[in-house]
C-alpha cells in the first residue's frame, strides 16, 4: 500500500493491479535486505545545567523576586535540595562535578588565576583537570551515550588534550577561561588578550548578534538536533553539559530584561536580604527560627547619596535581568526537548558552581578602573550591562544574593558554598515532585549519581591500563527515588579548601576558616542545621566536637596535598597581581611591541658600531 501511494504521487494517477502486486513484491524485497532499525536505548537522557556565581536565593523557587518561571517549573516537577554544597570557586567545582574526585587530587585546588608561585609547582595546583581522572563524559560516551557540552570550561585549554573535545565530549562549544564578555570577544580581565571560543576543538569567531546565554543554548539545541537526525545516533541517549556565563562578572544583560527590574532594588541590600530571608523560610528551605547574620562588610544604604542609590539599584537590576535571561533561554531548551519528544525521558539537573561574586574592581586597586578602561569598558549608568559596559553587584548585594546565609564566593561561609540544586526527571519518585530534600549533598556526589542514572559503573582505580583517581562522591539515587532520606551518616565528612579558606562538615556541625578583609583568620564551629547563617560560634561550647572536626580536617589536608598560603594572601589581590604580570607579558609579546623592540635593538647596535668605528686621519 505504501509503494502504491508513492507511485500514485509520482505519476499522478491510481496504480493498476499489476503495479500494486509489483509494489508489494518490491516492498517485500526491500524489507528483506534493509538494515534492521537499531534498538532504542531506554536509559534516560541527562542534561546538566550549571549557572555561574548564582547565589542561594537568586531564583524564585529558592526565595528570589527575580522571575524564573522555567526553573520554577523544574522545581515544581522535581526535587529541590536545601543543603547542597560546592567549592566556593568555579574551576574546583567543575573538576569535582565532572569527575567525582576531590579538586586537589584532580589538579584544580584553585583557579589558575589565583595560584601563588609555591602552589603552581604542585600537581594538585595546576588549575587544569589532570589526566589522572576520567570524566563522566568519557565513561558515558564509552557506554553508548551521545555526549556534548556548551559554554564555560575553565579546566585547561593551552594543551589541546585538556579541551573537552578530548575529555569525553563528542560535540563541544568551549569558552575556556574563568569568564568572558557576554556581548563581544574582548577580554574581561588582563590575563587574556581576548575571550576565546572553540567549537569541536577549533577556534571560532562569535556572530554579530552574540549574547552568551542565547549562543550557548543555540549551540546546545544544534548539538542535540545533530544527534536526533544522525541515523547512527538517534536511538542513543544523550548527556549534555550546559555551562552558562550567567551571572559571572561582567554582569551584563539585554536592555529589555534589565528594564523589568529597574526600581526593584531602590530600598537597598538590607531590605532585599530581609525579604529573601523570609521567602526562604516560607518555602521551608531553612528553619523558621534560624537567625541571619549581617556581614560586617555590608555598608549603610542610607549613607549613600540619592544618585548612588539609583546607580546601585540599576547594578542589581542588570544582575536580575541576567538571571531572567538565562531562565528564558533554558525555557527555549526545554521547549525544544518537548517538541522533539525527548523531554519525558530526560533527567535535568540544575545547580550553580558557587555563591555570588562579591568582587568589585573599584575596591581592588586605584589603578583597576583605569585597567578596565584600557580593556575597552565603561560603567555609564544609561548603558549599564549593555555592550562594552562593565558591571558588578559588589560585596553588599552579593551578600543579599546569598540571603539568609553569610559570606559569598571564595569564602567558606555557607553563602559561598551552599547553592541551589534541582533534580527533575523520570527517575524521581512521584511522591517527591515539588518537594524539598534536607539531605546533605556535595558537588562530588553528582558524578556517581549521573553514572547511576545511566547504569554505568565507574572503573575504580584503572582506566584503559592507566591509574586514575577513584570516584569518592556519594550516589544520591536512593534520595531521588525515595528509598532513603539521606546517603550521609553522622560520621561522613565533606571537606573543602581554596585559597586558605577552608571548611569541614560532619553531622550537623561545620568548622570554617575565613581569611582576609573583615575575617579573623580563625577556625569557628557552627551547627549549620539550626544556624545556617553561622551566627553563633560554638567552639567553646562544644570543644570535643570542635577538636574532632579539626582532626578530620588535618587528615583531609594531608591526604589531599593542601599547601598553605602566605599569611597576607588574599584571593582577589593574587588575581590582580597575576593579571598585571599577564598584561605585561601580553604587551611584551604583542607584534607591535616586538617590532618596536627590534627597531630599538637595531638602532642601538648601529650606534655602538658607529662609536667604535675608528676615525679616519
Q: List, for residues 551-594, the tens digit of each pLDDT value.
A: 999 999 999 999 988 877 876 666 766 666 655 655 555 455 45
Mean pLDDT of 467-495: 97
Q: Which cell is 320 given?
A: 536580575
The architecture (CATH level 2) of 45-480 comes to 3-Layer(aba) Sandwich (3.40)
Q: What was the pLDDT predicted at 208?
A: 95
User: In angstroms, rounded to a whole number, what is the distance separating the alpha carbons of residues 125 and 131?
Assistant: 13
Q: Does the annotation count 131 as an active-site position?
A: no
137 contacts 456 by C-beta, under 8 angstroms: no
pLDDT in tens, 367-418: 567 777 888 999 999 999 999 999 999 999 999 999 999 999 999 999 999 9
Mean pLDDT of 266-284: 98
Q: If you search the block for the grid coordinates 560560634, which residue do you land on?
A: 537
Q: Which of 90, 328, 407, 458 is catalytic?
A: 90
Q: Which of 154, 407, 458, 524 is catalytic?
A: 154
Q: What was the pLDDT predicted at 567?
A: 78
Q: Which residues pair with 203 in a beta bridge?
A: 198
pLDDT in tens, 95-120: 999 999 999 999 999 887 778 887 87
**CATH code reported for the domain at 493-559:** 3.30.1120.10
Mean pLDDT of 20-37: 42
Q: What was the pLDDT predicted at 467?
A: 97
User: In angstroms, rounded to a whole number, what is the distance separating the alpha carbons of residues 310 and 313?
Assistant: 5
473 contacts 159 by C-beta, under 8 angstroms: no
Mean pLDDT of 302-320: 98
509 contacts 545 by C-beta, under 8 angstroms: yes
Q: Flag the least confident range among 11-15, 401-405, 461-465, 602-606.
A: 11-15
Q: Flag the least confident range among 57-66, 84-93, 119-128.
A: 119-128
Mean pLDDT of 299-316: 98
Whether residue 175 has pLDDT greater than 50: yes
Q: If you search the block for the grid coordinates 589522572, which residue do you land on?
A: 132
Whether residue 74 has pLDDT greater than 50: yes
Mean pLDDT of 529-540: 97
Amino acid at each position: 500500500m505504501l509503494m502504491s501511494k508513492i507511485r500514485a504521487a509520482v505519476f499522478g494517477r491510481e496504480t493498476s493491479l499489476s503495479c500494486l502486486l509489483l509494489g508489494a513484491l518490491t516492498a517485500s524485497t526491500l524489507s528483506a535486505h534493509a538494515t534492521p532499525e537499531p534498538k532504542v536505548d531506554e536509559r534516560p537522557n541527562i542534561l546538566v545545567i550549571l549557572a555561574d556565581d548564582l547565589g542561594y536565593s537568586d531564583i524564585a523557587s529558592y526565595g528570589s523576586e527575580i522571575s524564573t518561571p522555567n526553573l520554577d517549573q523544574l522545581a515544581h516537577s522535581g526535587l529541590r535540595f536545601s543543603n547542597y554544597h560546592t567549592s566556593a570557586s568555579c574551576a574546583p567545582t567543575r573538576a569535582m562535578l565532572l569527575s567525582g574526585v576531590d579538586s586537589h587530587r584532580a589538579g584544580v585546588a584553585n583557579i589558575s588565576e589565583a595560584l601563588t608561585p609555591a602552589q603552581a609547582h604542585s600537581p594538585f595546583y595546576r588549575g587544569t583537570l589532570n589526566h589522572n581522572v576520567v570524566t563522566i563524559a568519557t565513561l558515558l560516551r564509552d557506554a553508548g551515550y551521545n555526549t556534548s557540552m556548551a559554554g564555560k570550561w575553565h579546566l585547561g585549554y593551552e594543551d589541546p588534550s585538556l579541551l573537552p573535545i578530548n575529555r569525553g565530549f563528542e560535540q563541544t562549544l568551549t569558552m575556556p577561561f574563568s569568564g568572558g564578555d557576554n556581548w563581544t570577544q574582548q577580554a574581561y580581565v588582563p590575563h587574556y588578550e581576548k575571550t576565546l571560543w572553540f567549537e569541536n576543538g577549533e577556534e571560532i569567531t562569535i556572530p554579530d548578534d552574540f549574547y552568551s546565554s542565547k549562543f550557548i543554548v543555540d549551540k546546545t539545541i544544534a548539538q542535540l538536533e545533530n544527534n536526533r537526525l544522525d541515523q547512527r545516533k538517534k536511538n542513543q541517549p544523550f548527556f549534555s553539559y550546559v555551562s552558562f556565563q550567567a551571572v559571572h562578572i561582567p554582569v551584563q544583560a539585554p536592555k529589555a530584561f534589565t528594564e523589568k527590574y529597574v526600581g526593584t532594588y531602590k530600598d537597598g541590600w538590607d531590605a532585599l536580604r530581609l525579604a529573601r530571608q523570609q521567602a526562604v523560610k516560607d518555602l521551608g528551605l531553612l528553619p523558621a527560627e534560624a537567625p541571619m547574620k549581617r556581614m560586617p562588610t555590608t555598608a549603610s544604604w542610607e549613607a549613600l547619596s540619592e544618585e548612588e542609590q539609583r546607580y546601585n539599584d540599576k547594578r542589581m537590576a542588570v544582575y536580575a535581568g541576567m538571571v531572567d535571561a538565562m531562565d528564558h533561554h533554558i525555557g527555549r531548551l526545554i521547549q525544544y526537548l518537548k517538541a522533539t519528544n525527548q523531554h519525558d525521558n530526560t533527567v535535568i539537573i540544575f545547580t550553580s558552581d558557587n555563591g555570588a561574586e562579591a568582587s568589585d574592581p573599584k575596591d581592588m586597586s586605584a589603578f583597576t578602573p583605569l585597567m578596565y578602561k584600557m580593556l575597552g569598558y565603561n560603567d555609564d549608568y544609561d548603558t549599564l550591562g549593555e555592550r562594552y559596559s562593565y558591571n558588578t553587584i559588589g560585596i553588599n548585594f552579593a551578600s543579599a544574593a546569598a540571603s539568609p546565609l553569610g559570606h559569598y564566593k571564595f569564602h567558606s561561609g555557607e553563602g559561598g558554598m551552599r547553592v541551589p540544586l534541582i533534580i527533575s526527571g523520570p527517575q524521581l519518585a512521584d511522591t517527591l515532585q515539588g518537594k524539598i530534600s534536607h539531605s546533605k549533598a556535595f558537588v562530588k556526589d553528582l558524578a556517581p549519581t549521573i553514572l547511576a542514572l545511566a547504569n554505568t559503573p565507574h572503573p575504580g582505580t584503572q582506566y584503559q591500563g592507566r591509574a586514575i583517581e577513584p570516584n569518592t562522591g556519594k550516589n544520591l539515587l536512593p534520595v531521588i527515588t525515595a528509598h532513603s532520606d539521606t546517603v550521609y551518616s553522622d560520621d561522613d565528612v565533606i571537606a573543602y579548601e581554596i585559597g586558605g579558606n577552608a571548611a569541614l562538615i560532619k553531622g550537623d556541625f561545620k568548622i570554617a576558616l575565613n581569611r582576609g578583609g573583615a575575617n579573623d583568620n580563625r577556625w569557628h564551629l557552627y551547627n549549620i542545621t539550626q544556624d545556617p547563617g553561622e551566627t553563633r560560634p560554638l567552639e567553646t561550647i562544644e570543644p570535643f566536637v570542635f577538636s574532632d572536626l579539626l582532626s578530620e580536617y588535618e587528615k583531609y589536608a594531608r591526604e589531599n596535598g593542601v599547601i598553605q598560603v602566605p599569611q597576607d594572601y588574599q584571593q582577589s589581590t593574587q588575581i590582580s597581581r597575576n593579571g598585571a604580570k599577564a598584561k605585561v607579558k601580553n604587551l611584551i609579546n604583542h607584534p607591535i611591541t616586538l617590532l618596536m623592540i627590534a627597531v630599538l635593538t637595531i638602532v642601538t647596535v648601529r650606534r655602538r658600531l658607529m662609536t667604535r668605528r675608528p676615525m679616519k686621519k
